[in-house]
A and B are shown apart, each in its own frame.
Chain A
Amino acid sequence: MSYLLQSLADQQLKANLPTLHVGDIVKVHNRIVEGASERVQMFQGTIIALKEAGPATSITVRKTGAHGVGVERVFRVHSPRVETVEVLRHSKVRRAKLYFLRNRVGKKARLKQVRR
């Protein structure tokens, strides 16, 4: 890629974003536009997939919602609609995609926490 093209793509990136890892428990501050008003909604869960793609870098965050229903949302972390991503905890993981969590419920769906 030519350096000019690269620099233009890099301009789209957020400078203050923390380094994200698969297995991290994160709180995503998501900006929601409803007509004229705007508010920030939180989504807290585990990063089960991280797709590195320059400005299009995205994370898949999974949480267990009400009545044990799994909820997954994909965020483009560099999007202006995502205000910040807060990393709360890290987990010990041995693979790049944690899709196996989809087939687990309750205590089996936990990941071992690590300090970093």
Chain B
Amino acid sequence: MKGLIGRKLGMTQIFNEKGVMIPVTVLEVGPCFVTQIKTPVNEGYAAIQLGFETVRERRLTRGERGHLDKTHTSPLRILREFRIDEAEVSDYRPGQKLLADLFSEGDLVDVVGISKGKGFQGGVKRHGFNRQPKTHGASDRTRAPGSAGAGSTPGRVYKGKRGPGHMGHERVTVQNLRVALVDPTRNLLAVRGAVPGPKNGLITVAAARKKAR
């Protein structure tokens, strides 16, 4: 499973080959460097570790520097791992540079990001609870969560009962987004549709795990 690390730049619209305007999210992906290749022999599974965004050397701990020195890559801020097939291990070599042209137009990808934080939200916004009546004698109950369960039996609120709480700022995967545009010179990728997270939010793009019909 090939993948890249990048940042979300924002959304715009482009014309596709049929002349139809489609909404796209533009992602700046890579350059990513292969910082480690995990093999079934050494680690028990096959994966590649990619690094993204060069930083000044003193921003890294000695442990991080030592790890990157093994592949002779420049200091990198972000490291992420992508599982690959055992047969694909030979496709990668340490220190290899991966760019946006890893993907081509029409590919299906899964994009992972950290969704925008919404703070502490009530049940209506967070879980889609129904509102209660605004009229007919109801007061101050419009967006209240209602009952949390039965009375003496069971005499407690069930675990996992949905309620108000912190919303957003969690890892979200969007599957099967179609790559609408690849710009290898500037390392830009445009995928059709929305991608979780704020502008400049860190995202990972990987080949789709489940192929859409």
**A residues neighboring B (CB under 8 Å):** 1-2, 4-5, 7-9, 12, 31, 54-56, 76, 78-81
Alpha-carbon distance A78/B14, docked complex (angstroms): 10
Would B199 and A2 count as touching, CB distance under 8 A?
A: yes
CB distance from B37 to the nearest CB of A (A): 30
Does B15 interact with chain A (Cβ within 8 Å)? yes
Which B residues between 157 and 191 are near A, CB-CB below 8 angstroms? 181, 183, 186, 188, 190
Would B186 and A79 count as touching, CB distance under 8 A?
A: no
Contact of A4 among B14, B15, B26 (CB under 8 A): B26
* B201 contacts across to A, CB distance below 8 A: none
- How many residues on the B side are at the interface (Cβ–Cβ under 8 A)? 17
Closest partner residue, chain A, to B186 (CB atom): A4
Contact of B12 among A8, A79, A80, A81 (CB under 8 A): A8
Alpha-carbon distance A81/B14, docked complex (angstroms): 13
Does B122 interact with chain A (Cβ within 8 Å)? no
CB distance from B112 to the nearest CB of A (A): 20
Would A8 and B26 count as touching, CB distance under 8 A?
A: yes
**B residues neighboring A (CB under 8 Å):** 9-10, 12-15, 19, 21, 26, 28, 181, 183, 186, 188, 190, 199-200
Alpha-carbon distance A2/B25, docked complex (angstroms): 13
* A78 contacts across to B, CB distance below 8 A: 15
Contact of B10 among A2, A31, A79, A81 (CB under 8 A): A2
Alpha-carbon distance A12/B183, docked complex (angstroms): 13
CB distance from A51 to the nearest CB of B (A): 13
Closest partner residue, chain A, to B28 (CB atom): A4
CB distance from A63 to the nearest CB of B (A): 23
